[in-house]
Amino acid sequence: MLLKTNTIKKISLLLSFIIIYLSKYAYSQEIHFSSLEYDYGTIKEEEGPKKGSFTFTNTGDDTLKILTVKPSCGCTASDYTKDPIPPGGQGFINAIYNPTGRPGKFSKAISVVSNSKTQPNITLIIKGEVIPRPKSKADLYPFSIGNLKLTKTNISFNDIKNTQSKTDTIKVYNISKNSISIVFPSLPSFLKVEAQPVLLEPSQEGLIIVTYDASKRNDWGFLLDQFTIKTNDEVEPLKYITLNANITEDFSTLSNKQLQKKPIISFDTTNFNFGTVKAGEKIQGSFIIQNKGKNKLIIRKIIPNCDCITYNISNTVLKKNAKSIINFTYDTQGKPSRQHKTLAIINNDPKNPIVVLHIQGTTE
């Protein structure tokens, strides 16, 4: 009798689980897309936004609802069926891709969230390739100084050795109805600049060729320069071009024997921490340099990263084992909170031609 009772209990428990399971899944929402990927193929940038469409069917036996549709980038917008979709009904998700300013191949995701029991999260993919629009004169010459349009107004020579010369070119275009003459007055010795042609006719294109000779610049580190374009342009006859360069020492000609006798720069510390002070105080400190190599160590240049730092150095040429002191003053006026300033030491140690010293602390 007891065995029969236990069997009945087990059967009843099993039936309860079955009833719960069936009640949970008696009605389900299923979503089926005809395709999870839409290929735009090739589209032209100048034609503007293009629409792609995904269709889906509710293959379940309960009402389906799209909750959210989220594109992966701002270049994609979307619209979708917002009304509940009955069993057997269909819906859509439209993806609009804006190709403006986005030449080349693309592949973007669209996240779809619904109340589907089995697939609440689905990712759709749109892809294609944008053919760049033909460039106009405005694209080719984005900068204007008076009636002269230019491809750029700044030339960067980046890292250049102190033995090197580098050349770069600016393309120019005359948008006026008159000829524009181009000359370059008062050029420094390290710059050679020429115009081709020197007289630019209306709607004519030309070149300004700039050669920077670092061996004649006689300086080190990051440098900013400028030269003048003198024209007969009625609007802004004087036009200015900026140049920046980072001049580093050329150690490539040193022999193995010379490298074995190289100077070696060393510091007692590369970090000065002044703790916590009141804003406006002037911090004084020092760094000690020592030459642990054989040949003379030459301090080429010291570059603070802020005009709030002044310094002096006791000696810029150090023989073997000799020492030198850099004394500095840091003015914290107008600089509250955490501070981090630097001094870049440019020298002739081939292994460490630039050493950065740190000045840190807190002002309140």
Query: In this predicted structure, what is the pLDDT of residue 76?
Result: 87
Residue 11 burial (10 A CB sphere; 0-12, 13-18, 19+)? exposed
- The rounded percent of the chain whose pLDDT value lies above 70 is 93
What does the pLDDT look like over 212-270, one tens digit per residue? 999 999 999 999 999 999 999 999 999 999 999 999 999 999 999 999 999 999 999 99
Query: In this predicted structure, what is the pLDDT of residue 23?
Result: 44
Query: In this predicted structure, what is the pLDDT of residue 277?
Result: 96
- Count of other CB atoms within 10 angstroms of residue 215: 14
Confidence of residue 9 (pLDDT cuts 50, 70, 90): low
Query: In this predicted structure, what is the pLDDT of residue 27?
Result: 56
Confidence of residue 14 (pLDDT cuts 50, 70, 90): low
Query: In this predicted structure, what is the pLDDT of residue 6?
Result: 56
Query: In this predicted structure, what is the pLDDT of residue 10?
Result: 54
What does the pLDDT look like over 149-207, one tens digit per residue? 999 999 999 899 999 999 999 999 999 999 999 999 999 999 999 999 999 999 999 99
**How far is it, in rounded angstroms, from Cα 38 to Cα 75?**
16
**34-57 mean pLDDT:** 95
Confidence of residue 25 (pLDDT cuts 50, 70, 90): very low
Query: In this predicted structure, what is the pLDDT of residue 29?
Result: 81
What does the pLDDT look like over 295-353, one tens digit per residue? 999 999 999 999 999 999 999 999 999 999 999 999 999 988 999 999 999 999 999 99
CA distances from 259 to 83, 95, 293, 347 (A): 78, 64, 10, 15
Query: In this predicted structure, what is the pLDDT of residue 97?
Result: 95
Residue bearing the bigger pLDDT, 19 or 331: 331
What does the pLDDT look like over 114-157, one tens digit per residue? 999 999 999 999 999 999 999 888 889 999 999 999 999 999 99
CB 239 within 8 A of CB 146: yes
**How far is it, in rounded angstroms, from Cα 91 to Cα 59?**
12
Query: In this predicted structure, what is the pLDDT of residue 21?
Result: 45
Measured on CA atoms in the order 197, 198, 203, 206, is the torsion positive or negative? positive
Confidence of residue 73 (pLDDT cuts 50, 70, 90): confident
Confidence of residue 81 (pLDDT cuts 50, 70, 90): very high
CA distances from 167 to 180, 188, 200, 209 (A): 24, 15, 22, 7
Task: Residue 217: name the closest of 281, 161, 288 by CA.
Answer: 161
Residue 45 has pLDDT above 90, yes or no: yes
| Residues composing the chain | 364
Query: In this predicted structure, what is the pLDDT of residue 13?
Result: 55
pTM over cut 0.95: no
Residue bearing the bigger pLDDT, 4 or 301: 301
Question: Domains plus CATH for the chain?
Answer: 31-131 (2.60.40.10), 137-248 (2.60.40.10), 260-363 (2.60.40.10)
CB 68 within 8 A of CB 57: no
Task: Residue 56: name the closest of 39, 34, 36 by CA.
Answer: 34
Residue 11 has pLDDT above 70, yes or no: no
Query: In this predicted structure, what is the pLDDT of residue 273?
Result: 97
Confidence of residue 22 (pLDDT cuts 50, 70, 90): very low
Using DSSP's 3-state secondary structure scheme, residue 116 falls into coil
What does the pLDDT look like over 51-64, one tens digit per residue? 999 999 999 999 99
Q: Which two tokens stand for residue 358?
A: 């740190």
